Amino acid sequence: MVGVDVDYQLQQYRDARDTRSEIEASLPIQGLVQYLQAERILTNGFLAGDTSFRTQLTQSREQVDTFRQKLREEPVVADATNRFGQLASIRAAVDSRTANRKKTQAYYSEAIGALNAAEPAADKATRGDRELRDSLAALQARAEAKEAGSQEISLLGGVLAAGSFRGTNFLDYVELRATRISAMNRFFKLATTTQSDACRSCSPRP
């Protein structure tokens, strides 16, 4: 019985250690996601006709490229970062104003989605101790809400630059808003009081 208990405790320790390691690996990936989200917002505004975004867009691209270098040797995002092979041509089309705005936004969203899916913590939300599991699930819910919110901002930036909602823009906006609110509600159910307070201090609860 002692041996069984020791084995159980060791497994619990290994699971907790692995989960902590996975969360630590997730943070730089989310850093790149954040910079890509910023580039997407500025790109959409620029393509919609607001050339004042030009300087900020250049700076944002530099941040993305710097962070991509940091993750160059990270094997868990290898498949996701393969999508960046098209990034240079996408940017060139944006600069020449020949890019299709909707397809360009879709490219950024797919790249961001691939990075989020590649997080090493994504497949192990049920392992480790309860507190770490809940923290991991809360982190994933926050990332989902953040991506939906970023797409909202990008879409509205393009709408403002263009002067009106066009095509399916309004329906897309409503869907993104619903996704963001749902994810944030899930976050607040999973997060600790400290985590919830920290989130509220940087962005209001929907």
Q: How far is CA 3 from CA 8, 9, 16, in A?
A: 9, 10, 20
Give a yes or no: residue 206 inside a domain: no
Question: Quick one: pLDDT band at residue 18, thresholds 50, 70, 90?
Answer: low
Residue 37, exposed/middle/buried by CB under 10 A (0-12, 13-18, 19+)?
buried
- What letters, b where the CB count within 10 A reaches 16 and e where it falls short, cover 80-119? bbebbeebeebbeebeeeebebeebbebbbebbebbbebb
State residue 91's pLDDT score.
96
Give residue-wise pLDDT tens across range 23-38: 556 677 878 888 899 9
Give yes or no for residue 115 having a pLDDT over 80.
Answer: yes
Give a yes or no: residue 164 inside a domain: yes
Give residue-wise pLDDT tens across range 142-195: 787 888 888 888 888 888 877 888 888 787 778 788 878 887 887 888 788 887
Residue tagged 């901002």 (tokens): 153
pTM passes above 0.75: no
The first and second tokens of residue 50, run together, are 């607001």
Mean pLDDT of 33-46: 90
Give a yes or no: residue 98 inside a domain: yes
Give a yes or no: residue 77 inside a domain: yes
Domain count, the chain: 1
Q: For residue 167, is it left (φ>0), alpha (ψ between -120 and 50) or beta?
A: left
Question: Quick one: pLDDT band at residue 57, thresholds 50, 70, 90?
Answer: very high
Domain encompassing residue 113: 2-201
Give a yes or no: residue 152 inside a domain: yes
Enumerate residues 6+ apart whose C-beta is below 8 A from 11.
none
Question: Quick one: pLDDT band at residue 82, thresholds 50, 70, 90?
Answer: confident
Give a yes or no: residue 62 inside a domain: yes
Give yes or no for residue 104 having a pLDDT over 90.
Answer: yes
